Structure 1
């Protein structure tokens, strides 16, 4: 799941990395050229740099929001799949009650290993 999300967003991540590098280079060039620039040219380039930085920050935020949304979708899908497997095991083994958290439980009643085994066998799609 994590690998799939990384692949899904790899192209956008590369674009952002490239934009960040270009932005740094632009800032370094401005710093280097500052002593020789006229006041008008300096102001223009500073404004351009600030605008590009703002666009870059927006793009980063948008991507992070998209990553978060997809992560939540995948997490929800995995929870639904897990709950289905837990229900199937509980019905097959005639378990009366399944709880997610407990103060104490006898390890012989723990279904976690079986659930993980089945999810892994299914490839946790």
Structure 2
């Protein structure tokens, strides 16, 4: 009995709203794709790579030195005196500790910068989405969906808007024309 009442109420609600639903415009944006493929996202990635390349090279150089010292200890360790062997092992241990610290700090700094840049890209993307929503009279735009019909996917429009605009200030000037 309760199921029938619920089904009846649902039918009334859905049936009554069908006239309004006809002019309700929905869009969906794949945020991950925007963050991967848009011009600002690609530029941010290049900027970060350039910013961190020096530290990355420094870490790679230290890794190479540690491997060379390890190889030298394995090959020539028996020829070294006990004191020299211990000194080289201490040097290798200190080098590995420094390397681990540098790698950890590098990862932390890199993640922090990526998050900062992604926040900026997301801000631009949200402005582009707002501009598209205003220009094309969308009632609702969702970010992410389990399933989306390609007809309502506006991700390509957002990526194109981000490529052609700086978004800030231009969305208002387009609407006023």
TM-score by length of 2: 0.63
Counterpart for residue 124 of structure 2? 81
Structure 1 unaligned blocks of 5 or more: none
Task: Tell me by how many angstroms 1:95 deviates.
Answer: 1.3
- 1:17-44 deviation digits (Å, cap 9, x = unpaired): 1111111111112222211222222112
Residue range with higher mean Cα deviation, 13-22 or 97-106: 97-106
* Number of equivalent positions: 124
Structure 2 residue 92 is matched with structure 1 residue 55: no
- Distance in 2 (alpha carbons) for counterparts of 1:105 and 1:33: 64
Q: Which has the higher contact order (CA 8 A, sep 6+)?
A: 2
Alignment of 1:79-118 (within 5 A): 79-102=122-145, 105-118=148-161
What's the secondary structure of 1:35's corresponding residue?
coil
Structure 2 unaligned blocks of 5 or more: 1-43, 168-177
What root-mean-square deviation, in Å, do the aligned CA atoms of Structure 1 and Structure 2 show? 1.9
What's the secondary structure of 1:99's corresponding residue?
strand
TM-score by length of 1: 0.87
Q: Which has the higher strand share?
A: 2
- Distance in 1 (alpha carbons) for counterparts of 2:132 and 2:145: 19
CA radius of gyration, larger in: 2
